[in-house]
Structure 1
Amino acid sequence: MEEKVLPERLLPLEGVFNFRDMGGIKAQDGRRIKKGLIFRAAELTGLTAGDIDYLKDLEIKYIYDYRDKEEADLKPDPQIGREKHERVAVNGEDKSTAHSEWDPETFYKTFTREKFTQVYAQMPIRNASYQRMMSLVARPEQNLPLVHHCTGGRDRTGVGAMLILKTLGVPTDTIMEDYMLSNQTLFVFHEEMFEEASHYISGTALKRFEDGFLLHEEFLEAAMQSISETYGTFEHYLSAEFGMTDKTREKIQDFCLE
């Protein structure tokens, strides 16, 4: 199944990793997300002139960036067309998911799956970045098509995608499938990262990092469990975190699903 999904949803771009159309994903009620409305991606700074020409046709209205200021200053998002750009860091000042903010040696030597799972558990709760992103999605007629992205388009973007998909009524197993797809779409990105890591750690420590840093279901499960433990239901979460009513959610679904 995943072999069919990849060519269809991964955009044919040369200068950016993991740029995917979230359209085509099926919701619980049988409708599917319309294509060309919501995109997820890694950092966009490498987009080629040809990529930008391709993306212009999509008439994107918003590029929403989850990265920290330092990451964004180092690799800024290019202007594609007439879209607005906004950046609110998922990490705040904490910087707990962006390895580029840290001394690489410390990051690679101290990384553990358990610690990273904790980072995921914290991400969706009282987070100004997701609050702002969801406020954009709550006005789909004004703000879509939208691209949301971070550095690899897998962790911060993975949680953002989960929130959008759950809001659209997509089943958990489908959300997880979409999340885990980044292990395929980011194969080269991961290889480059593991090569960098090999300058700081080796042997068992390197193997442990390579195994641990790939996406694991337990990461996204921790984010979803955190929502359940804090708010009970996803409906209560939408209301408490984002001020989203059932009526607004229905409006988003009617706009985005077909």
Structure 2
Amino acid sequence: MEIKKVFSVVFLLVLTLQGCSYKTTYQPIEYSSMVNDKPRIVEQSNKYIGVFDKGDRIIDPTPLNITEDKVNFTHTDRKFFTVVHKEDTLVVSNREIDFRKVHNFRDLGGIPTSEGRYTKWGKIYRSGHLHKLNSKEKEKVVSLGITTIIDLRTDKEIGKKPDKIPNSLTYHNYQAYDDSEDMFSKTKKDVLKGKLTPSQADSLVVEFYSLYPTHDIKKVREIVLTILDNSESTLFHCSAGKDRTGMIGAILLSILKVEQQVIIDEYLLSNNYRVEEVSSRMKLAKFGKFLYPKINYQVIENFSWIKPMYIQAMFDGIAKEYGSMENYILNGLQIDKEKQREYIEKYTQ
């Protein structure tokens, strides 16, 4: 065991110095088309770029007729712009929030609902874990108006990588998944030993998704209500910000009357925003082949990327248990129509 630890350190050093290619995935990966929406704002190295259709007009804060596809904004603070786009008046901002030490950080604002409304920007955020948050980026979290952090991880995950957040924020840990048997660690060992096939890996993820929203409905309700009842802004996260976070995000958007296909498209943004993270993991896996020759790269991909069929399994699991998402909201989460309408008015416009 000690020899393996030494080799692991060596391979990590080699990886850092030499790198390893992961330009082609071992299976097709589906990405979200939401990143191509216009108009949109993109944050790049503390600068903001607006991507528009010609003819779009910014009416706030300064009237501006768009004559080019891209507009560079000189300010470094996050802004919300009111844009007249194809006769519709929209509020736009940057969906992905740029953090060096936190992956997959994004705003659930600007998403269209079935009622012709849009979710409000700056109210609900989602991300990966906050263990590497430095002092400067802690200030950035506060600047976003976030007052509450909801951590969806298990005790063991938190013990290894506890959140490092500003003292002024309220922290909650809600575990809707009981990992008392440490299945996460056991599965990881099976992956390293090559005991899982790609189809078995998919089946495990699908089963997890199908059970998570109904297994401990009281805990899921507590998570959802803590977010929706907050008078300020909330950030919720798990480890990578893709699976548990993806499901809670899908439930929240369902309550706000976002259509299922749009929810899936938002869910898939985790693939767009985690390319570098997954690439690093796959590079490490290639070097790990020396220690664990039975590693199956496609299995690792199945646990690293997300697929539409995963979140579909969540919807199917809810339908199987409650008949429909509407019944799940009403009878499972115990949010009646009147309360749901209050949330819609609060979080959409």
Aligned counterparts, 1:6-155, within 5 A? 7=42, 8-80=94-166, 82-94=168-180, 99=184, 101-102=185-186, 104-108=188-192, 109=194, 110=196, 112-127=201-216, 128-141=218-231, 144-155=232-243
Larger CA Rg, structure 1 vs 2 = 2
- Quick check: which one's strand share is greater? 2
Q: Higher relative CO (CA 8 A, sep ≥ 6), structure 1 or 2?
A: 1
Q: Partners of 1:95 and 1:64 in 2: how far apart?
A: 23
Mapping 1:214-233, distance limit 5 Å: 214-233=305-324
SS in 1 for 2:213: coil
What stretches of structure 2 of length at least 5 have no aligned partner?
1-32, 43-93
- Structure 1: which amino acid aligns with 2:190? T
Give the secondary-structure state (helix, strand or coil) at the position aligned to 2:175: coil
Matching residue's letter, 1:106: D
CA distance in 2, matches of 1:11, 1:233: 33
Q: Which deviates more, 187-196 or 248-257? A: 187-196
**What amino acid does structure 2 have at the position aligned with 1:65?**
D
Q: Closer, same or farther in 2 for the Cα pair 1:137/1:167, shift >3 Å? A: same
Structure 2 CA distance, aligned partners of 1:186 and 1:202?
Answer: 26
Please report how far the alpha carbon of residue 196 of structure 1 lies from its aligned counterpart in structure 2 after TM superposition: 4.0
Residue 255 of structure 1 corresponds to: 346
| TM-score (normalised: structure 1) | 0.89
Aligned equivalents of 2:229 and 2:223: distance in 1?
Answer: 10
Determine the C-alpha separation between the residues in 1 that align with 2:181 and 2:251: 21
* 1:166 alignment partner in structure 2: 254
1:82 Cα deviation (Å)?
2.0
> 1:40, 1:157 within 8 Å by CA — same for their partners in 2?
yes
Which ranges of structure 1 fall in alignment gaps of 5 or more residues?
Answer: none
* % identity of equivalent residues: 20
TM-score by length of 2: 0.67
Instruction: Kindly report which structure 2 residues correspond to 1:207-246, keeping only aligned pairs within 5 A, or say none.
Output: 207-210=298-301, 213-246=304-337
- Classify 1:103/1:207 alpha carbon distance in 2 versus 1 (closer, same or farther; 3 Å): closer
Cα shift readout 1:100-136 (whole Å, capped 9, x = no counterpart): x447332443361122111111111132442211121
Distance 1:240 1:195 in 2: 46
Which deviates more from structure 2 when the two are superposed, residues 104-113 or residues 245-254?
A: 104-113
Contact 1:150 1:156 in 2 (8 A): yes
Matched AA of 2:209: Y
SS at match of 1:43: coil
Q: CA deviation at 1:62?
A: 1.1
More helix by share: 1
How far residue 184 of structure 1 moved from its aligned partner, in angstroms, is 1.3
1:184 equivalent in alignment to 2:272 = yes
